[in-house]
Protein backbone atom coordinates (compact mmCIF):
# COMPACT_ATOMS: atom_id res chain seq x y z
CA UNK A 1 0.00 0.00 0.00
CA UNK A 2 1.05 3.58 -0.58
CA UNK A 3 -0.74 6.60 0.82
CA UNK A 4 -0.41 9.97 2.52
CA UNK A 5 -2.31 10.40 5.80
CA UNK A 6 -2.80 13.21 8.28
CA UNK A 7 -4.96 13.59 11.37
CA UNK A 8 -5.62 16.46 13.75
CA UNK A 9 -8.10 17.40 16.46
CA UNK A 10 -8.71 20.86 17.92
CA UNK A 11 -10.69 22.12 20.86
CA UNK A 12 -12.35 24.99 18.99
CA UNK A 13 -14.44 27.25 21.20
CA UNK A 14 -15.45 24.51 23.66
CA UNK A 15 -14.20 24.11 27.24
CA UNK A 16 -12.70 20.72 26.43
CA UNK A 17 -12.26 18.36 23.51
CA UNK A 18 -14.61 15.36 23.41
CA UNK A 19 -13.49 14.24 19.93
CA UNK A 20 -11.11 11.33 19.49
CA UNK A 21 -9.50 9.97 16.34
CA UNK A 22 -6.92 7.42 15.30
CA UNK A 23 -5.41 5.53 12.40
CA UNK A 24 -3.55 2.24 12.35
CA UNK A 25 -2.01 0.25 9.53
CA UNK A 26 -0.37 -3.08 8.90
CA UNK A 27 1.47 -4.13 5.78
CA UNK A 28 -1.78 -4.82 3.89
CA UNK A 29 -4.60 -2.90 5.62
CA UNK A 30 -5.38 0.58 6.95
CA UNK A 31 -7.94 1.59 9.61
CA UNK A 32 -9.16 5.14 10.28
CA UNK A 33 -11.67 6.07 12.97
CA UNK A 34 -13.25 9.27 14.33
CA UNK A 35 -15.58 9.61 17.33
CA UNK A 36 -17.46 12.59 18.79
CA UNK A 37 -18.28 12.11 22.46
CA UNK A 38 -21.37 13.37 24.28
CA UNK A 39 -21.74 13.43 28.06
CA UNK A 40 -21.29 15.48 31.20
CA UNK A 41 -18.03 16.00 33.11
CA UNK A 42 -15.31 14.12 31.17
CA UNK A 43 -17.50 11.15 30.24
CA UNK A 44 -18.08 12.14 26.61
CA UNK A 45 -14.33 12.01 26.13
CA UNK A 46 -14.26 8.57 27.77
CA UNK A 47 -16.95 7.23 25.42
CA UNK A 48 -15.08 8.50 22.36
CA UNK A 49 -11.78 7.15 23.71
CA UNK A 50 -13.30 3.72 24.29
CA UNK A 51 -14.66 3.74 20.73
CA UNK A 52 -11.38 4.53 18.96
CA UNK A 53 -9.29 2.40 21.32
CA UNK A 54 -11.59 -0.61 20.85
CA UNK A 55 -11.27 -0.33 17.08
CA UNK A 56 -7.47 0.05 16.98
CA UNK A 57 -6.90 -2.74 19.51
CA UNK A 58 -9.12 -5.09 17.49
CA UNK A 59 -7.35 -4.12 14.26
CA UNK A 60 -3.98 -5.00 15.79
CA UNK A 61 -5.34 -8.40 16.83
CA UNK A 62 -7.08 -9.25 13.59
CA UNK A 63 -5.19 -7.64 10.69
CA UNK A 64 -2.59 -10.38 10.20
CA UNK A 65 -1.65 -8.64 7.96
CA UNK A 66 -5.15 -7.96 6.59
CA UNK A 67 -8.71 -8.56 7.78
CA UNK A 68 -10.63 -11.65 6.85
CA UNK A 69 -13.91 -9.71 6.46
CA UNK A 70 -13.68 -5.90 6.79
CA UNK A 71 -17.45 -5.35 7.05
CA UNK A 72 -17.77 -7.95 9.81
CA UNK A 73 -14.79 -6.39 11.58
CA UNK A 74 -16.48 -2.97 11.53
CA UNK A 75 -19.90 -4.22 12.63
CA UNK A 76 -18.55 -6.49 15.38
CA UNK A 77 -16.14 -4.03 16.94
CA UNK A 78 -18.43 -1.02 16.80
CA UNK A 79 -20.85 -3.23 18.74
CA UNK A 80 -18.09 -4.22 21.16
CA UNK A 81 -17.27 -0.54 21.72
CA UNK A 82 -20.94 0.14 22.51
CA UNK A 83 -20.96 -2.62 25.14
CA UNK A 84 -17.64 -1.45 26.60
CA UNK A 85 -19.12 2.04 27.12
CA UNK A 86 -22.13 0.53 28.87
CA UNK A 87 -19.78 -1.53 31.05
CA UNK A 88 -17.87 1.60 32.04
CA UNK A 89 -21.18 3.32 32.82
CA UNK A 90 -22.28 0.40 35.01
CA UNK A 91 -18.96 0.33 36.88
CA UNK A 92 -19.33 4.03 37.69
CA UNK A 93 -23.06 3.77 38.45
CA UNK A 94 -23.79 6.64 36.05
CA UNK A 95 -27.44 7.61 35.74
CA UNK A 96 -27.01 8.57 32.10
CA UNK A 97 -24.56 6.68 29.91
CA UNK A 98 -21.99 8.75 28.00
CA UNK A 99 -22.41 8.42 24.25
CA UNK A 100 -20.43 8.90 21.10
CA UNK A 101 -20.85 8.91 17.36
CA UNK A 102 -18.39 6.90 15.28
CA UNK A 103 -17.25 6.62 11.69
CA UNK A 104 -14.60 4.08 10.70
CA UNK A 105 -13.01 3.01 7.43
CA UNK A 106 -10.85 0.06 6.41
CA UNK A 107 -8.83 -0.01 3.19
CA UNK A 108 -7.26 -3.21 1.90
CA UNK A 109 -6.70 -4.76 -1.53
CA UNK A 110 -7.32 -1.26 -2.97
CA UNK A 111 -10.93 -1.34 -1.72
CA UNK A 112 -12.54 0.89 0.94
CA UNK A 113 -15.12 -0.32 3.46
CA UNK A 114 -16.74 2.02 5.95
CA UNK A 115 -19.40 2.09 8.64
CA UNK A 116 -20.88 4.72 10.92
CA UNK A 117 -23.38 5.45 13.68
CA UNK A 118 -24.46 9.05 14.25
CA UNK A 119 -23.41 12.15 12.35
CA UNK A 120 -19.64 11.96 12.14
CA UNK A 121 -19.04 11.73 8.42
CA UNK A 122 -16.91 10.11 5.76
CA UNK A 123 -16.37 11.75 2.38
CA UNK A 124 -14.89 10.09 -0.70
CA UNK A 125 -13.42 12.80 -2.93
CA UNK A 126 -12.37 12.01 -6.50
CA UNK A 127 -10.92 14.59 -8.87
CA UNK A 128 -12.14 17.42 -6.67
CA UNK A 129 -15.72 16.16 -6.31
CA UNK A 130 -17.53 14.40 -3.46
CA UNK A 131 -18.60 11.09 -5.02
CA UNK A 132 -19.80 9.42 -1.80
CA UNK A 133 -20.75 10.54 1.70
CA UNK A 134 -22.22 8.88 4.77
CA UNK A 135 -25.84 9.65 5.61
CA UNK A 136 -26.29 11.28 9.02
CA UNK A 137 -28.31 9.35 11.59
CA UNK A 138 -30.12 12.50 12.69
CA UNK A 139 -33.71 13.68 13.05
CA UNK A 140 -33.07 16.43 10.51
CA UNK A 141 -31.81 13.91 7.93
CA UNK A 142 -35.01 11.91 8.44
CA UNK A 143 -36.97 15.09 7.71
CA UNK A 144 -35.01 15.50 4.48
CA UNK A 145 -35.65 11.85 3.55
CA UNK A 146 -39.37 12.34 4.12
CA UNK A 147 -39.43 15.48 1.99
CA UNK A 148 -40.40 17.75 4.88
CA UNK A 149 -37.40 20.05 4.40
CA UNK A 150 -34.75 20.50 1.73
CA UNK A 151 -31.08 19.60 2.09
CA UNK A 152 -30.31 23.33 2.03
CA UNK A 153 -32.71 23.93 4.94
CA UNK A 154 -31.15 21.03 6.82
CA UNK A 155 -27.70 22.62 6.71
CA UNK A 156 -28.85 25.42 9.04
CA UNK A 157 -31.61 23.64 10.98
CA UNK A 158 -31.35 24.31 14.75
CA UNK A 159 -31.77 20.58 15.56
CA UNK A 160 -29.41 19.20 12.93
CA UNK A 161 -27.09 17.73 15.58
CA UNK A 162 -29.70 15.58 17.34
CA UNK A 163 -28.75 11.99 16.47
CA UNK A 164 -30.88 8.86 16.84
CA UNK A 165 -28.03 6.34 16.58
CA UNK A 166 -24.88 6.38 18.67
CA UNK A 167 -22.72 4.19 20.90
CA UNK A 168 -23.57 4.04 24.60
CA UNK A 169 -27.31 4.63 24.28
CA UNK A 170 -30.14 2.53 25.66
CA UNK A 171 -30.53 0.69 22.33
CA UNK A 172 -27.99 -1.05 20.13
CA UNK A 173 -26.67 1.49 17.62
CA UNK A 174 -27.84 1.43 14.04
CA UNK A 175 -24.58 0.77 12.22
CA UNK A 176 -24.74 1.59 8.52
CA UNK A 177 -22.16 0.06 6.18
CA UNK A 178 -21.05 1.21 2.76
CA UNK A 179 -20.68 -0.88 -0.36
CA UNK A 180 -17.28 -2.25 -1.28
CA UNK A 181 -15.70 0.77 -2.99
CA UNK A 182 -12.66 0.28 -5.26
CA UNK A 183 -10.25 3.19 -5.03
CA UNK A 184 -8.37 5.05 -7.74
CA UNK A 185 -4.98 6.69 -7.41
CA UNK A 186 -5.52 10.22 -6.11
CA UNK A 187 -8.76 9.44 -4.26
CA UNK A 188 -9.13 11.22 -0.94
CA UNK A 189 -11.08 9.81 2.01
CA UNK A 190 -11.86 12.24 4.83
CA UNK A 191 -13.43 11.30 8.17
CA UNK A 192 -14.56 14.20 10.33
CA UNK A 193 -16.81 15.34 13.17
CA UNK A 194 -19.67 17.80 12.79
CA UNK A 195 -17.40 20.62 13.93
CA UNK A 196 -15.88 20.38 10.44
CA UNK A 197 -18.78 19.56 8.14
CA UNK A 198 -21.17 21.91 9.92
CA UNK A 199 -19.08 24.84 8.67
CA UNK A 200 -17.94 23.58 5.27
CA UNK A 201 -20.26 22.82 2.32
CA UNK A 202 -19.30 19.71 0.36
CA UNK A 203 -17.78 21.57 -2.57
CA UNK A 204 -15.57 23.78 -0.39
CA UNK A 205 -14.41 20.79 1.66
CA UNK A 206 -13.54 18.89 -1.52
CA UNK A 207 -11.60 21.80 -3.00
CA UNK A 208 -9.78 22.43 0.29
CA UNK A 209 -8.44 18.88 0.43
CA UNK A 210 -7.45 18.75 -3.24
CA UNK A 211 -4.25 20.67 -2.48
CA UNK A 212 -1.19 18.66 -3.64
CA UNK A 213 0.31 18.70 -0.13
CA UNK A 214 -2.19 16.99 2.17
CA UNK A 215 -0.10 17.78 5.24
CA UNK A 216 -0.69 21.47 4.55
CA UNK A 217 -4.22 21.16 3.20
CA UNK A 218 -5.81 19.68 6.34
CA UNK A 219 -4.45 22.26 8.83
CA UNK A 220 -5.38 25.07 6.43
CA UNK A 221 -8.90 23.65 6.12
CA UNK A 222 -9.19 23.50 9.91
CA UNK A 223 -7.84 27.06 10.23
CA UNK A 224 -10.65 28.21 7.94
CA UNK A 225 -13.28 26.35 9.98
CA UNK A 226 -11.99 27.83 13.26
CA UNK A 227 -12.05 31.31 11.77
CA UNK A 228 -15.61 30.94 10.47
CA UNK A 229 -16.90 29.28 13.65
CA UNK A 230 -15.50 31.94 15.94
CA UNK A 231 -15.29 31.85 19.73
CA UNK A 232 -18.22 29.46 20.15
CA UNK A 233 -17.16 26.89 17.55
CA UNK A 234 -17.36 23.14 18.19
CA UNK A 235 -14.49 20.67 18.58
CA UNK A 236 -13.15 19.86 15.12
CA UNK A 237 -11.36 16.69 14.08
CA UNK A 238 -10.27 15.10 10.80
CA UNK A 239 -8.28 12.14 9.56
CA UNK A 240 -7.63 12.30 5.83
CA UNK A 241 -5.89 9.87 3.49
CA UNK A 242 -4.87 10.27 -0.14
CA UNK A 243 -4.61 6.91 -1.85
CA UNK A 244 -1.62 6.69 -4.16
CA UNK A 245 -0.47 4.63 -7.09
CA UNK A 246 1.77 1.81 -5.88
CA UNK A 247 4.04 2.31 -8.88
CA UNK A 248 4.41 6.08 -8.61
CA UNK A 249 7.51 7.72 -7.17
CA UNK A 250 7.51 7.80 -3.37
CA UNK A 251 7.26 11.37 -2.05
CA UNK A 252 8.59 12.53 1.32
CA UNK A 253 5.10 12.61 2.85
CA UNK A 254 3.99 9.23 1.51
CA UNK A 255 3.76 6.02 3.51
CA UNK A 256 4.76 2.75 1.86
CA UNK A 257 3.96 -0.44 3.76
CA UNK A 258 5.83 -2.74 1.40
CA UNK A 259 8.71 -3.41 3.78
CA UNK A 260 6.59 -3.90 6.93
CA UNK A 261 6.63 -7.25 8.67
CA UNK A 262 3.55 -9.48 8.78
CA UNK A 263 2.88 -8.71 12.46
CA UNK A 264 4.01 -5.08 12.43
CA UNK A 265 1.65 -2.15 13.02
CA UNK A 266 1.91 1.62 13.05
CA UNK A 267 -0.70 3.40 15.18
CA UNK A 268 -1.44 7.04 15.90
CA UNK A 269 -3.76 7.24 18.90
CA UNK A 270 -3.46 9.50 21.92
CA UNK A 271 -3.97 7.79 25.26
CA UNK A 272 -6.69 9.34 27.39
CA UNK A 273 -5.55 12.57 29.03
CA UNK A 274 -2.10 12.45 27.41
CA UNK A 275 -2.53 14.97 24.58
CA UNK A 276 -1.56 18.47 25.78
CA UNK A 277 -3.98 19.95 23.23
CA UNK A 278 -6.95 18.24 24.94
CA UNK A 279 -7.79 20.40 27.92
CA UNK A 280 -8.61 18.45 31.08
CA UNK A 281 -9.34 19.43 34.66
CA UNK A 282 -8.43 15.96 35.88
CA UNK A 283 -5.42 15.36 38.08
CA UNK A 284 -2.66 12.97 37.02
CA UNK A 285 -4.03 10.36 39.43
CA UNK A 286 -7.52 10.72 37.97
CA UNK A 287 -6.15 10.38 34.44
CA UNK A 288 -4.22 7.24 35.37
CA UNK A 289 -7.32 5.75 36.98
CA UNK A 290 -9.42 6.60 33.92
CA UNK A 291 -6.84 5.00 31.61
CA UNK A 292 -6.96 1.75 33.59
CA UNK A 293 -10.76 1.76 33.72
CA UNK A 294 -11.00 2.36 29.98
CA UNK A 295 -8.62 -0.54 29.32
CA UNK A 296 -10.61 -2.79 31.65
CA UNK A 297 -13.88 -1.95 29.89
CA UNK A 298 -12.34 -2.62 26.46
CA UNK A 299 -10.62 -5.85 27.51
CA UNK A 300 -13.95 -7.23 28.66
CA UNK A 301 -15.15 -7.20 25.04
CA UNK A 302 -11.89 -7.93 23.25
CA UNK A 303 -12.82 -11.18 21.61
CA UNK A 304 -13.80 -12.62 18.26
CA UNK A 305 -17.35 -13.70 17.62
CA distance 102 to 18: 12
Give Cα 68 distance to the centre of its chain: 22
pTM for the model stands at: 0.93
b/e map 140-178, b = 16+ CB within 10 Å: bbebbeeeeeeeeebeebeebbebbbbbbbeeebebeeb
- Would you report the helix, strand and coil content of the chain in percent, each value rounded to 5? 35, 25, 40
pLDDT of residue 99: 96
User: Rounded to whole angstroms, how far apart are CA atoms 187 and 245?
Assistant: 10
pLDDT at 117: 98
Superfamily of 2-299 according to CATH:
PPM-type phosphatase domain (3.60.40.10)
Domain ranges of the chain: 2-299
The pLDDT tens digits along the chain (305 residues) read 999 999 999 999 998 899 999 999 999 999 999 999 998 768 999 999 999 999 999 999 999 999 999 999 999 999 999 999 999 999 988 888 899 999 999 999 999 999 999 999 999 999 999 999 999 998 888 888 888 888 777 777 777 778 889 999 988 999 999 999 999 999 999 999 999 999 999 999 999 998 889 999 999 999 999 999 998 899 999 999 999 976 555 566 789 998 899 889 999 999 898 877 676 778 889 899 999 999 999 998 876 55
Residue 191: name the closest of 28, 6, 16, 66 by CA. Answer: 6
Q: What is the DSSP annotation of 137-185?
A: -BHHHHHHHTTSS-HHHHHT-TTTT-BS--BTSSS----EE---EE--T
Amino acid sequence: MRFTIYQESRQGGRKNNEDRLAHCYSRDALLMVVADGMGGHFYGEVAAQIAVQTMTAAFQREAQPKLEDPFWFLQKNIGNAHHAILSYCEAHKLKDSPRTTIVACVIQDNVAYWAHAGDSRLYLIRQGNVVARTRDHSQVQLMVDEGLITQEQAENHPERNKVYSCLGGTHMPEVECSRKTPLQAGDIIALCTDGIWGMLPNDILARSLQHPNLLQAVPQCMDRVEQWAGAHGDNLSMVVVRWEDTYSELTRSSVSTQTMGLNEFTTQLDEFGRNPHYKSDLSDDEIERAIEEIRAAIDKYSFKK
